[in-house]
């Protein structure tokens, strides 16, 4: 009996030994794979850091907060420059870098193993930069643990709602959001090597060059690679748009009917700076329900492709019920994807002004809206601070047309009375003056002056 017991025990021990050896082999292989990925990303980091870049406008703000224990969360569309912004922020620091756009990396479930390898490769790191963090499952728990351990973290991500929702849950009050847009007009001019001295902007030759660059910026947009590398804007942006749509929307949300959301996005791009209702979109594109339309619109917003703007009302329910307007993150997508026979310069200007308003710190549907008077006259943008309406803005390219000018002025005057707002402004292509109309002072401001403020 004892011999059988001894034999059985030996067999079991032998099997356990085999299993342990296999486990150890798999563990070593897994760790080696992670290390190879981290080393590859380190090479990419060193290559990026060695280059010269356009300094982004929000860099000073980010640097002022770099040494705080708050997590720095940098969000924005793909290819908008989030990684470069982070490298500029950390250029003179000892930092570790990991990009979660790597499919092999996001499959790993043992996050401590990833962390162990990071500090093997970067033993002196004072900061950790995680790129495209939203691709890592349960990333907020991992980040939360690191933050509690005292690590200084910088995260980038291409999904606005995903990041804000999960960080709001796991890291309430312990992070700083930094939103990155395509190049502003200032950054665009810097990238072009065009330096402006304020005292010379009135000279015809300088102003002519500014307007020439503005025309290019208006039509091709400000995605960094288009501007810096002088790529063919239409081809590059068409490819980028499809990549964002199918990777950050269709794949992430497991959308079965990808053609439907593609058709919706093309319809919105072709009708940018225009009103729409959920029912109108449902009927025009043959959707089964308005709920599907609303969900798809939310996904496109979260991926930083579009923005939806509510019509202002002092009643929240009315804001929700009334038609919305759609704007795009960058005018270049209109060139690349819109189905149109001619360029509508007025609407291109309106889209550009809207993005500039966001760039200056306003939030859509919180302190920027559009408005319609009781008589149906439309004001492009109203800006609000707290409960007070701060400014009414019209955007008009053809202000030299008397009928067009009168239409814009009458809308401002009616809205001014209804909303009790005295600051009235018309953004023009190149007209500047202050004019009194029906007892109100109207400021005319050239687009290029607004963008270079």
306-319 pLDDT per residue, tens: 999 999 999 988 99
Closest CA to 182 of 211, 210, 156, 220: 220
Q: What is residue 23's predicted lDDT score, i.e. its pLDDT? A: 44
CA–CA dist 28, 94 (Å, integer): 28
| pLDDT value, residue 398 | 84
Please state, in angstroms and rounded to a whole number, the distance separating the CA atoms of residues 328 and 348: 10
- Closest listed residue to residue 353, CA positions, set 335, 379, 317, 375: 379
Q: How does the average pLDDT of the chain come out, rounded? A: 90
CA distance 319 to 438: 29
- pLDDT, residue 343, reads 79
Alpha-carbon span 50 to 47, nearest angstrom:
5
Q: Which two tokens stand for residue 415?
A: 């809205």
DSSP string, 281-325: HHHHHT-S-HHHHHHHHHHHHHTTSEEEEPBP-SSHHHHHHS-EE
Q: CB under 8 Å, gap of 24 or more: what pairs does 160-166 form?
A: 160/75, 160/301, 160/302, 160/304, 161/298, 161/301, 161/302, 162/134, 162/302, 163/73, 163/75, 163/133, 163/134, 166/139, 166/140
- Cross-strand bridge partners of residue 326: 274, 308
Cβ proximity of 243 and 78 under 8 Å: yes
pLDDT digits (tens, 9 = 90+) for 162-178: 666 666 666 666 889 89
Q: Convert the pLDDT of each residue in 179-211 to its tens digit.
A: 999 999 999 999 999 988 887 788 889 999 999
Q: Which of 162-171, 217-226, 277-286, 399-408 comes out lowest in average pLDDT?
A: 162-171
The order of strands in the sheet holding 440-446 is 368-372, 378-385, 388-395, 424-428, 440-446, 433-437
Determine contact, residues 50/86, Cβ cutoff 8 Å.
Answer: no
Q: Percentage of residues in the chain with pLDDT exceeding 70?
A: 91
In sequence order, what are the residues at sequence separation of 6 or more whose Cβ sits closer than 8 angstroms to the Cβ of residue 29?
A: none
Nearest CA-CA partner of 389 in 415, 357, 421: 421
Residue 444: how many CB atoms within 10 A of its CB?
Answer: 18
Name the helix (H) or strand (E) containing 263.
helix 258-270
Token digits for 271?
């009708």
Q: pLDDT grade, residue 218 (50/70/90)?
A: very high
Beta-carbon contacts of residue 375 (< 8 Å; ≥ 6 apart): 414
Tens of pLDDT, residues 387-432: 899 999 999 998 888 999 999 999 999 999 999 999 999 999 999 9
pLDDT at 142: 87
| Residue found by looking up tokens 């795009």 in the block | 328
SS3 assignment for 341-392: CCCCHHHHHHHHHHHHHHHCCCCECCCEEEEECCCCCEEEEEEEECCEEEEE
Residue keyed to tokens 């030994």:
17
- Number of neighbouring beta carbons within 10 Å of residue 344: 16
DSSP structural state of residue 194: -
Domain boundaries, the chain: 31-179, 186-451
Q: Considering the domain 31-179, what is its CATH architecture?
A: 3-Layer(aba) Sandwich (3.40)
> Is pLDDT at 342 greater than 90 in this prediction?
no
Gap between the Cα atoms of 214 and 197, Å rounded: 17
Q: How many CB atoms lie within 10 A of CB 30?
A: 15
Find the length of the chain. Answer: 453
- Nearest C-alpha neighbor of 180 from the set 19, 65, 59, 321: 59
For residue 266, pLDDT over 60 is answered with: yes
d(CA 406, CA 426): 12
Kindly report whether the global pTM for this prediction surpasses the value 0.85: yes
Beta bridge partners of 71: 175
- pLDDT tens string 97-153: 999 988 888 888 788 889 999 999 999 999 999 999 988 888 888 888 888 888 999
**What is the strand order of the sheet 152-157 is part of?**
95-99, 127-131, 152-157, 71-75, 175-179
- CB-CB neighbours of 23 under 10 Å: 10
């Amino acid at each position: 009996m004892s011999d059988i017991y001894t034999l059985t025990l030996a067999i079991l021990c032998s099997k356990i030994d085999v299993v342990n050896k296999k486990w150890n082999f798999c563990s070593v292989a897994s760790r080696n794979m992670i290390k190879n990925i981290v080393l590859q990303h380190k090479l990419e980091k060193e290559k990026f850091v060695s280059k010269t870049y356009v300094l982004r406008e929000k860099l000073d703000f980010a640097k002022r907060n770099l040494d705080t224990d708050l997590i720095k969360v940098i969000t924005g569309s793909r290819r908008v420059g989030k990684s470069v912004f982070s490298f500029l922020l950390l250029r003179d620091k000892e930092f570790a870098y990991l990009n979660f756009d790597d499919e092999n990396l996001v499959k790993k479930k043992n996050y401590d193993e990833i962390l162990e390898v990071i500090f093997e490769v970067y033993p002196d790191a004072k900061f950790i930069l995680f790129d495209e963090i939203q691709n890592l499952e349960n990333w907020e728990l991992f980040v939360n643990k690191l933050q509690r351990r005292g690590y200084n973290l910088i995260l980038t991500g291409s999904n606005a709602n995903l990041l804000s929702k999960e960080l709001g849950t796991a890291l309430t009050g312990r992070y700083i959001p930094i939103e990155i847009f395509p190049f502003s007009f200032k950054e665009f001019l810097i990238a072009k090597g065009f330096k402006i001295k304020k005292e010379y902007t009135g000279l015809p030759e300088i102003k002519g060059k500014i307007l020439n660059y503005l025309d290019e910026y208006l039509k091709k947009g400000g995605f960094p690679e288009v501007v810096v590398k002088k790529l063919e804007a239409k081809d590059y942006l068409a490819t980028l748009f499809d990549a964002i749509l199918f990777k950050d929307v269709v794949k992430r949300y497991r959308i079965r009917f990808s053609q439907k959301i593609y058709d919706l996005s093309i319809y919105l791009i072709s009708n940018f700076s225009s009103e729409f209702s959920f029912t109108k979109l449902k009927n025009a594109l043959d959707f089964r329900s308005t709920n599907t339309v609303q969900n798809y619109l939310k996904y496109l917003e979260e991926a930083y492709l579009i923005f939806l703007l509510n019509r202002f009302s002092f009643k929240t329910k009315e804001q929700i019920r009334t038609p919305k307007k759609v704007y795009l993150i960058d005018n270049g997508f209109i060139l690349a994807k819109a189905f149109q026979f001619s360029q509508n310069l007025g609407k291109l200007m309106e889209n550009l002004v809207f993005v500039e308003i966001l760039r200056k710190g306003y939030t859509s549907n919180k302190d920027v809206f559009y408005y319609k008077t009781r008589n149906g006259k439309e004001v492009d943008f109203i800006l609000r601070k707290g409960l007070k309406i701060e400014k009414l803005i019209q955007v008009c390219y053809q202000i030299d047309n008397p009928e067009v000018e009168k239409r814009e002025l009458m809308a401002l005057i009616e809205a001014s009375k209804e909303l009790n707002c005295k600051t009235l402004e018309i953004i023009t292509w190149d007209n500047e003056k202050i004019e009194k109309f029906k007892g109100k002072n109207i400021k005319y401001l050239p687009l290029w002056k607004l963008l270079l403020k």
